[in-house]
Structure 1
Amino acid sequence: MASVIETGDAAAAPGRSYAYGWYTAAVLMVAYTFSFLDRQILNLMVGPIKADLHLTDTQFALLTGGAFGIFYTVMGLPIGWLADRYPRTRIITCGVAMWSVATTACAFVRTFPALMAARIGVGVGEATLSPSAYSLLSNSFDRSRLPRAMSVYSVGIYIGAGLALIVGGSVVEAVARTPSVMLPLLGEIHSWHAVFLVIGPPGLLVALWVATLREPGRQAKTGDVAASFSIARIWRFLASWPAMSVALFLGSAMLAIMSYMDAWYPELFIRTFHWSVGETGHVNGLASLTAGPLGMLSAGWLSSRMIARGRVDACLRLAIHAAIGMSITATVMPLLPQAWAMAAMLWPIKFLGGFIPVLIPSAIQMVAPGNMRAQLSAVFGLTVGILAVTLGPVLPALIGDYVLRDEGALHLSLSIAAAIVGPVATVLLWCGLRQFRACLSERPET
């Protein structure tokens, strides 16, 4: 693969049409949708998978968080370096194909280690997407349009998660009626295995679609492109703006923990109110499909509007407001005594949760040097992966299994986890606001 070093400020060129940039954002959104569909489908199959593989809550959380999250984050930095140097569309194409094959492989596993290995493959494949996509979009849009483009791309999170919940709920109800199915060549398999045969292979078509995208011009000059991957180079940038770095990378990851705790929300309604899998899947899925995208698009529109009016710190400022709102709603929601009230609270949680995947990546792209955009996006993926993707599902399970020692107290473990991480995230984000403004003033739009 030949190194790509392109010059020119295409995104800022006078009179430039952004039509192809919006098309690129839409295609990447479809890829992100499949990413989260593949990632989230396990959340409504807790019962069948635990029963067939004899798993504890913590083991299941490792499938949705640990096994996926660790490799998703570890691979992010080297993939980020590749994306800063080589064609990003090719990297994404390979990644989409890999996670689609790994998802399909879940249909053939019969043991916990084998399922974990397949989920690791999904994590490695998905690690290629966001660092490369953020870099592509930052080269396709100017600063005032970038948050809106990020919101279009990031909508895939909630579309994929929502579809997984709605489709998964129906499938799991079918599993209860027909625990196994007969398929040509494969013979008899569990019905939950068949789910992966449905959602995995179509991703290969998405990979082919991504391969048709053309690369936008990079804004880095030839001499600025890193010749080799360097942790020291990344560290020097982070250390030069310590408070801002803590806010963008640690504060946002702490806040994202609450978003990833929603892996347990479908099960929360089952254990608390004895809902069927179909009922909880449809309600949680509808909230994801409506409130999540609305939150992302609102975050993109509000921040772009504020930036155009001179409020350059809009991305981080809005993230702080989202952190305050999430701290309250995610703590209160699991404790509500009525099912309808708990279900209603899903909407503000999903709405505010949609702010972070738009605002923080946009803020990072605004302050990142041209030759480090994908790598700093990968650092964001690293911190979010270690803290949010991994701890989001695992932290409530650990509290339930080892502190409360009661799987029936899921509502308490979710509330306790949110009450701990929410205020910490708010403080960390707020502490970086002044340095974020200072960094933006020293790094005019290029």
Structure 2
Amino acid sequence: MTKIIVPDAAHESPWPHRRTAAWALALLFFAYVLAFLDRIVLSILVRPISAELQLSDMQFALVGGVAFALFYVTMGLPIGWLADRFSRRRIVAVGVALWSLCTIASGLASDFAGLFAARLGVGIGEAALAPAAYSLIADLYPPERRGRAVALYTLGATIGSSIAYFAGGLLIEFASAHGAILGLPPWRFVFFAAGAPGILLAALMLTMREPARRQSARVAKPASFVAFLKARREVSIAYILGYSCINLPFAGFLLWGPALFDRVHGLRPAQLALPLALLFLVPTALGQWLGATVTDRMLAKGRADAAFRTAAVCAALLVPVAVAMPLLGDSAAALAALGLLLFLTCASVGHHAVVAATVAPNRLRGLYVALFFFVQNVMGQAIIAVITAGLTDHVFERPDSIGLSMAIVGGAGAAAGTLLLILGREALRRAAAEPHP
């Protein structure tokens, strides 16, 4: 029988000082920036990599999606287990160093197998970040400030994407115009430039102060992870599958977006550098802020299902945008629709970790977040990457049909996610009100 502890405010440990929390959050934010920089830079290099290594769309999907996801998801769960028990800052430091070295190794690949192996390593390293980061944030910030802290951290994904599109596009064009840099072909140099900053950040991670773990006063000892999932299966299905589905239009663009604008609109990386950098900076930041602020305010008013409410409304608006954006024939209209797609996606999913902090006890939270990213990356990085490539290569049989494939996958994902979150609202309210199992 679960033992319930009555909170004792007199013995409640204080939250970390604001400066301590801010420094830790800044380090985690920059780690997420580099994670997406190293992840997204591959999609900018579709043309030169495929040309030199002679890769088909399906092989590129395996390298850009399956290779990354394979070890990200298989290592994510054990790393989540470690994050619940050992130093989270050290786990993040090792992860940043590993994925940065493997990004550099991507620039050394001489064939499909070598590039596949390097991207496996990137997946292993990045698997260390999310479980530890979300666990740290939950112990750094009180509930009324946590939504915005989570949103600021997840903004690193969009900042990293913005930098990748801007710097990567300009670098590849500059290097192409001037030949080899440091003896490296252009696309190989870009991987070196993307991976190098992570080595310094890994060392800086060790300056972070590890916050005390704050166990909820509603439970003395958390149940096993399996027992916890059984007790919270309804809200967990809505949380994990719902947000993962909503993220599919965003994930699809990260892998195939540059190819879409290249094949359909004739825009090269240098032409896309500034537009994509701005779109991944402004609409995404506004979306993160809006989703987090609305959710925090509704939580302050006692609406325990606030996260699902915000996400479901934004995801419903996302459905027609996800279908239309890749089908538009005018490049300016497509870029405008992309801005709206990014805004709505970030408003929907940017605050998702608020749910994990509400539903899962501290000692299971890292593993719970790891399970979330396990499913999200299986769907967004592996299965959907292969389905999109399969539709393009084997159903429509035309490289310029990539937009139709993206519209099918993205629209279906956003619709399914909307439905799951609507159906899960009552389960989230119950989970917020009941003691942790």
Query: Shorter-chain-normalised TM-score: which range?
Result: over 0.9
Per-residue CA distance 1:241-283 (angstroms, 9 max, x = gap): 3221111111111111221011212221111121122112322
Shift, 1:79, TM fit: 0.3
Per-residue CA distance 1:59-111 (angstroms, 9 max, x = gap): 11222211001211111110011000001001001101111111111121111
Question: Secondary structure of 1:405's partner?
Answer: coil
Shift, 1:11, TM fit: 12
Matched, 1:292 2:290: no
Per-residue CA distance 1:145-173 (angstroms, 9 max, x = gap): 11111011111100101100111111222
2:212 alignment partner in structure 1? 217
Matched, 1:369 2:361: yes
1:127 alignment partner in structure 2? 127
State the alpha-carbon separation in 2 of the partners of residues 300 and 83 from structure 1: 25
Question: Secondary structure of 1:122's partner?
Answer: helix
The one-letter code sitting in structure 2 at the alignment partner of 1:208 is A
Question: Could you say if the C-alpha distance between residues 77 and 399 of structure 1 is closer, same or farther in structure 2, counting changes exceeding 3 Å?
Answer: same
1:241 alignment partner in structure 2? 232
State the alpha-carbon separation in 2 of the partners of residues 195 and 140 from structure 1: 35
Per-residue CA distance 1:349-384 (angstroms, 9 max, x = gap): 111221354322211111101210101010111111
The one-letter code sitting in structure 2 at the alignment partner of 1:101 is L
Q: Is the 8 A contact 1:257 1:391 kept in 2?
A: no
Q: Is the 8 A contact 1:12 1:141 kept in 2?
A: no
Instruction: After superposing the two structures, state which structure 1 stretch, 415-424 or 254-263, moved more.
Output: 415-424
Question: Secondary structure of 1:432's partner?
Answer: helix
State the alpha-carbon separation in 2 of the partners of residues 67 and 394 from structure 1: 11
- 1:16-415 equivalence runs, <5 A: 17-178=17-178, 180-181=179-180, 183=182, 188-220=183-215, 233-262=224-253, 263-415=255-407
Matched, 1:422 2:410: no
TM-score (norm 2): 0.92
Unpaired runs of 5+ residues, structure 2, are 1-7
State the alpha-carbon separation in 2 of the partners of residues 71 and 225 from structure 1: 31
Shift, 1:285, TM fit: 2.0
Instruction: After superposing the two structures, state which structure 1 stretch, 128-137 or 166-175, moved more.
Output: 166-175
The one-letter code sitting in structure 1 at the alignment partner of 2:38 is D
Shift, 1:15, TM fit: 8.2
The one-letter code sitting in structure 2 at the alignment partner of 1:267 is A
Q: CA RMSD in A?
A: 2.4
1:229 alignment partner in structure 2? none
State the alpha-carbon separation in 2 of the partners of residues 11 and 329 from structure 1: 50
Q: Is the 8 A contact 2:304 2:428 kept in 1?
A: no
State the alpha-carbon separation in 2 of the partners of residues 275 and 134 from structure 1: 37
The one-letter code sitting in structure 1 at the alignment partner of 2:212 is G
State the alpha-carbon separation in 1 of the partners of residues 174 and 321 from structure 2: 33
Misfit runs of 4+, over 4 Å: 8-17, 221-226
Instruction: After superposing the two structures, state which structure 1 stretch, 345-354 or 92-101, moved more.
Output: 345-354
Question: Secondary structure of 2:410's partner?
Answer: helix
Instruction: After superposing the two structures, state which structure 1 stretch, 240-249 or 161-170, moved more.
Output: 240-249
Q: Is the 8 A contact 2:305 2:428 kept in 1?
A: yes
The one-letter code sitting in structure 2 at the alignment partner of 1:337 is G
Q: Is the 8 A contact 1:103 1:122 kept in 2?
A: yes
Percent identical pairs in the alignment equals 34
Per-residue CA distance 1:148-203 (angstroms, 9 max, x = gap): 1101111110010110011111122234434x4152xxxx4321101112121210
Question: Could you say if the C-alpha distance between residues 306 and 264 of structure 1 is closer, same or farther in structure 2, counting changes exceeding 3 Å?
Answer: same
Q: Is the 8 A contact 2:15 2:142 kept in 1?
A: no
The one-letter code sitting in structure 2 at the alignment partner of 1:217 is A
Q: Is the 8 A contact 2:314 2:345 kept in 1?
A: yes
Q: Is the 8 A contact 2:323 2:408 kept in 1?
A: yes
Question: Secondary structure of 1:219's partner?
Answer: coil
The one-letter code sitting in structure 1 at the alignment partner of 2:233 is P
Q: Is the 8 A contact 1:77 1:375 kept in 2?
A: yes
State the alpha-carbon separation in 2 of the partners of residues 281 and 374 from structure 1: 36
TM-score (norm 1): 0.91
2:3 alignment partner in structure 1? none
Question: Secondary structure of 2:272's partner?
Answer: helix
State the alpha-carbon separation in 2 of the partners of residues 277 and 375 from structure 1: 38
The one-letter code sitting in structure 1 at the alignment partner of 2:320 is I
State the alpha-carbon separation in 2 of the partners of residues 11 and 149 from structure 1: 25
Instruction: After superposing the two structures, state which structure 1 stretch, 308-317 or 352-361, moved more.
Output: 352-361
State the alpha-carbon separation in 1 of the partners of residues 428 and 333 from structure 2: 38
Q: Is the 8 A contact 1:41 1:165 kept in 2?
A: yes
Shift, 1:12, TM fit: 6.8
The one-letter code sitting in structure 2 at the alignment partner of 1:215 is E
Question: Could you say if the C-alpha distance between residues 40 and 224 of structure 1 is closer, same or farther in structure 2, counting changes exceeding 3 Å?
Answer: farther
Question: Could you say if the C-alpha distance between residues 305 and 10 of structure 1 is closer, same or farther in structure 2, counting changes exceeding 3 Å?
Answer: farther
Shift, 1:309, TM fit: 1.8
Question: Secondary structure of 1:119's partner?
Answer: helix
The count of residues paired between Structure 1 and Structure 2 equals 428
